[in-house]
Amino acid sequence: MKRLPMLFLSLFCSMTMLSGCATQQTPSATNTRTLTASSGTQKVSMTLSPAHFLALHPVSIHVHITSTDHASIVQSVQVKETMPDMSMPVPAIQLTKNASDTYSGTLVFVMTGPWTITLHEKTTTGSFTIPFHVQVQS
């Protein structure tokens, strides 16, 4: 009778590990892709995880913005993914501010093919837009 609870526990742990739900792993540096660009006084570093994008799988996005214009204060940062070959309306994603000049969020590509991730930043002195081009796999 004492073996029965242990058997169920072993079976549950085995099934959980096989399903990939046992632990949430932090993305390693090898499983990220960093894209950089600049516009005027703004320099943007966008890190995406996982590094290889799959349709209908969530992608974590982390943005770090550096500005040489110290009078400019960031008011909002959004990203919008669009597929250049299709005209599908996809809502913009408001990124959450984590720390000074660092923002994060999650996006999902709905199908395979070429996509553009467009970053929109609104500051106290103006706004800018930077496109990043990526390829989504099946």
Q: 3-state secondary structure string, the chain?
A: CCHHHHHHHHHHHHHHHHHCCCCCCCCCHHHCEEEEEEECCEEEEEEEECCCEECCCEEEEEEEEEECCCCCCEEEEEEEEECCCCCCCCCCEECEEEECCEEEEEEECCCCEEEEEEEEEEECCEEEEEEEEEEEEC
User: 0.75 exceeded by the pTM?
Assistant: no
**pLDDT for res 31:** 92
Specify the higher pLDDT residue, 118 or 126: 118
Q: Convert the pLDDT of each residue in 26-78 to its tens digit.
A: 445 569 999 999 887 888 999 999 999 999 999 999 999 988 877 778 889 99
d(CA 41, CA 39): 6
Query: Would you say residue 121 has pLDDT above 80?
Result: yes
d(CA 138, CA 129): 28
**pLDDT for res 74:** 84
Residue 18 banded pLDDT, cuts 50, 70, 90:
very low
Residue 3 banded pLDDT, cuts 50, 70, 90:
low
- β-partners of residue 60 are 49, 106
